[in-house]
Structure 1
């Protein structure tokens, strides 16, 4: 009896906190969340130490704490940056959508071909801008080269997307793990929530706070 009274007292004294905690868990599970970026595969767009805000309602509504989709709210577009749980990689990854179902994609010496047409590039040898449909974004190409810099034409199957990292020669993406099933996508990365400089005593990078991702 005393134990029951003790638990009731704890609930009464901390009810607001528990409700707030429950709402936070619900929101993070089904609406929006943020993720730490541990690698440089999306540099220069996303840097190591960035915490990324992810919209989990961008493409569908899921039952909180599950992968069960209730209804679709949209579909990935070329240029979207997505977070997904990759079964092939056994890891949670963040990459850029390059190919949609039915697209024919190839890469020759780091030049992407979309449906037999090369994308437009500008900039110097390593830091370039890539025009992917309506999305103009930065990519980095290591001068040392990589076996990943070219691949033959592939066709993206239904209910899948093809993704690449913006750090083109240093990214384990669809060139390594294959096409990404739509049901593995968690949401769309839209902003940098905040950023800490790992090489400078984890000092905040103020200029990157809530910066929109392109």
Structure 2
């Protein structure tokens, strides 16, 4: 694993009982911070990323909230505001929630985000649809100490689910030539859109005969 550029990703580690217990314990410790703003935590999952620098995790967004914990080695985590429409357009978020692609990275984005130099014991939180990426250089590497190990703790809440449903309906409205109000701007509009977005997405996945992504509707 210490060969430069090597990497290994372990997804859905919660399928192992020991990991499931550890992930749940982490989330339970964080509930007092999370739940005042985002109640109703569900579907706690995790992944482990092991890499030998130099390495890069590409610029992307996720549907779930994420606590990124650095266990070994060092890494630079770049995070952008999920509300920054210059970095992540509303259309891109809507398409992604509905199963679409990602926004391409541009170097000009760097100045608009925040860079966290993380080492063992450090963590970074970024909520659903916050753009992020990582880079690992070789400056900290020493003999027998050349591996970065990170743990991602992912979860959904009642807020991420409602927001995803609003995005689903906004995507339909945008396709009709309108400029819909972004989730969170109007509680009244969100309350109207969310159930319709849920029905819309359920019908689409049924028609396609596919399983909807977790938290996407």
| TM-score, normalization by structure 2 | 0.22
Larger % of strand: which?
1
Q: Please tell me whether Structure 1 or Structure 2 has the larger radius of gyration of its CA atoms.
A: 1
* Structure (1 or 2) with the greater helix fraction: 2
TM-score (norm 1): 0.23
Greater relative CO, 1 or 2 (CA 8 Å, sep 6+): 2
